[in-house]
Structure 1
């Protein structure tokens, strides 16, 4: 039995069916099973990660650790799960490439501490460190549906964006096959794209021209605060961007090595989601 945290998130919704298709038994955790709409082949269990119930580990031999960010302390949530899971065979932790590059921004720092907890827990472990998700570009949806002007903070770095399906398939492989104990896998897409080029590709998929505009950091901050972002989250975002400049464009071959195929492209992602943006 594989316990999947974050089963209704971007990666979890791809991972649960990928595991089931491989013949694995899956217990998918969610805050609200009635609204989860998960694959009916999975066992769905209610879970509040702020008060993790060790009974959820009954019959479980592998755990996929991904926290959603709900609750007051994400690191405390992951540590609680790891502490309860010391008797399982394998832990697979979803982290970030920021840790790979030694970044000290708030997001990377939390993942680095959680990685250490996983390594010290006792069971075999594997760390997955994906880069920037293609799905993050859903943040452009209001602009695309509005005036078609995509406003991006100045000096936004080029990025080897990764499709969440690739991350999920790598995770499914690591959870269901041997030879991954003690390994850390950085995961990216197959090419680095400037943000301008990403906007062009999305426009091509939609059959319309989108306008790319760089804006000063002060304007971008004001816009994010206007969306209701906490000031700490805005600060963390810009610190992450500063530290990841030059790192996000590095391409790793993990998808090809573990899955035997090329990573999915941003053009493929844009085509898949064109109807959503329309």
Structure 2
């Protein structure tokens, strides 16, 4: 059970990414937390003494990916959306972005906010971090919901398919790993690049309006944003190695909810995780592509609420 946030030297309202306009959500407060030398941006609201639900977004988004889901959870839960290192209004450190290192930063931030145990909900690269966090801090987790993501070393393919019907979903993994070239080609074209993902990977290409595309493009374009976004892919091999090493010692026992969609990247998240987890359940959200929280927020909020309530 989460306790109320406490006033500590680790929490401030000092925004380290001032060139990116803040997005505000009614009922929620911005905080920045010192997490082992990296200031992470957290947006929190809801019930201070309720069960805590921590939300992590993926590429090419920020915490704003959860804006349609968060209000539906506030009546019962303490809701905390966190920008990963290098994402949104969190610092963009020049250090490792392997998911075990990042998971330690995220967990430290949650603890600094006064939360001892929590449910974790994570999408895309956020789910990469979420899986590694579960491997390292399982005793602090009540449950983990993972949305439409191949996990490095677990379910992420070692090779990129060349079949055109599938290649468009994963081609960027190889591109992002190439040194320097993505930065050269994408500088000044961040909006076109981000817009392609947000339109091509949704079931309805008009899911994201111009303002939302502008926000995510600006987050990538800000100083250090593109480098940090690519770093998760460039460190994926190390993330995979650490995941495999951890799973040699034990499998996950924390409840895992796999949330897939009718037209996403991973048809059955729960089945893909079940060889390494003892307690998995499955939800498939209809009428959605990869960006499920944006496309079907009510269904995602209901799945999260039911999952956390079952654990409670």
Q: When the two structures are superposed, what TM-score results if normalisation uses the length of structure 1?
A: 0.35
Q: When the two structures are superposed, what TM-score results if normalisation uses the length of structure 2?
A: 0.32
**Greater helix proportion:** 1
